[in-house]
Amino acid sequence: MDAHGQARPGEVSVELPAAFDTGLIFIGRIRTPYATRAECPKNTRESDALATVELDPRYAAGLEGVELFSHLILLYWMDEARRDLIQQIPAHLGRRRGTFALRTPARPNPIALAVVELIRIESPNLIVRNIDCRDGTPLLDIKPYFASIDSVPDARRP
Amino acid sequence: MDAHGQARPGEVSVELPAAFDTGLIFIGRIRTPYATRAECPKNTRESDALATVELDPRYAAGLEGVELFSHLILLYWMDEARRDLIQQIPAHLGRRRGTFALRTPARPNPIALAVVELIRIESPNLIVRNIDCRDGTPLLDIKPYFASIDSVPDARRP
């Protein structure tokens, strides 16, 4: 998929089911310095910019205790992504690979995740570092990061 | 929330929006030795049991290249979880904490994530280790684990 959301020659799409199985609620928005997808850094560690997680105030009570954690996992919705591409040719790779071996936004359920450093809380907002998404991206979830289950420093990749 | 999905005294719920913002597709099921939620281990590292990720065959081409990674992130849907609890009293904690400071299944969007070790691929199925969910849990996504962005060994928690 290119920066305009178009499939590149050689990319493979799949027919998706006609109906959804369940639904999601957007619980907030992520405010970043990146107005468009083209401006976004390639991954979460390529940016030191701060971002603001604007949580819908109705969920503010859910932040009780979040200050105890240095890092959080954000789940957010890649609302501009195609959902039907099952093999893609990322520009940085130059060859075709399955969607489930890529972190590309384009996937059947375009949920992205980022491990972010919590800088401070201004309830119902969070100020965080290490997020790469477009300004206004819909927020799905905030989870505490547990090194004991989430950190695998020696995980192998190509 | 107790093992039957009932709120405990002192837990706080919130009124959710009347409509969903977008929809999810179940792309497979996770087969585990745990028939009910009560049998599930407390977290993903408490079990050495193997699990089978049964991917819907229509998405099998998406696995191309997954074998290059030692660890994957699975996103799955906690279909039995309440979505309206915003402060909860986990049994192991004994006091109230915000949903976003907990890894409890009960949350506005009950998406769980597990970092699993990839044992082998029997396309369209994956055999993995370190997954704590109920047998038959709906699968939402498979992502490669990148230590460079996903691993924070020294993340602080209470």
Per-residue model confidence as pLDDT tens digits over A90-107 = 988 889 999 999 999 999
Beta carbons of B72 and B126 less than 8 angstroms apart: yes
Closest among B59, B54, B72, B73 to B119, alpha carbons compared: B72
Is the backbone peptide bond immediately before A41 cis, with ω within 30 degrees of 0? no
Residues 56-85 of B with CB under 8 A from A: 58-59, 61-66, 68-73, 75, 77, 79, 83
Residues 10-29 of A with CB under 8 A from B: 12, 14-17, 20-27
Q: Is the pLDDT of residue A44 over 70?
A: no
**B86 closest CB neighbour out of A59, A108, A148:** A59
Q: pTM of the full predicted structure?
A: 0.95
Q: Do B87 and A61 lie within an 8 Å CB cutoff?
A: yes
Strand order from edge to edge, sheet including B97-98: B12-13, B85-88, B97-98
**Closest chain A CA to residue B23:** A23
Half-sphere exposure of B33 (CA within 13 A, CB side): 8
The number of angstroms, rounded, from the C-alpha of B137 to the middle of its chain's C-alpha atoms is: 9
Residue A4 confidence (pLDDT): 63
Per-residue model confidence as pLDDT tens digits over B78-132 = 999 999 999 999 988 889 999 999 999 999 999 999 999 999 999 999 999 988 8
Residues in chain A with CB shorter than 8 Å from the CB of B93 are none
Per-residue model confidence as pLDDT tens digits over B39-50 = 887 776 667 789
- Say if strands B71-77 and B85-88 run parallel, antiparallel, or are unpaired: unpaired
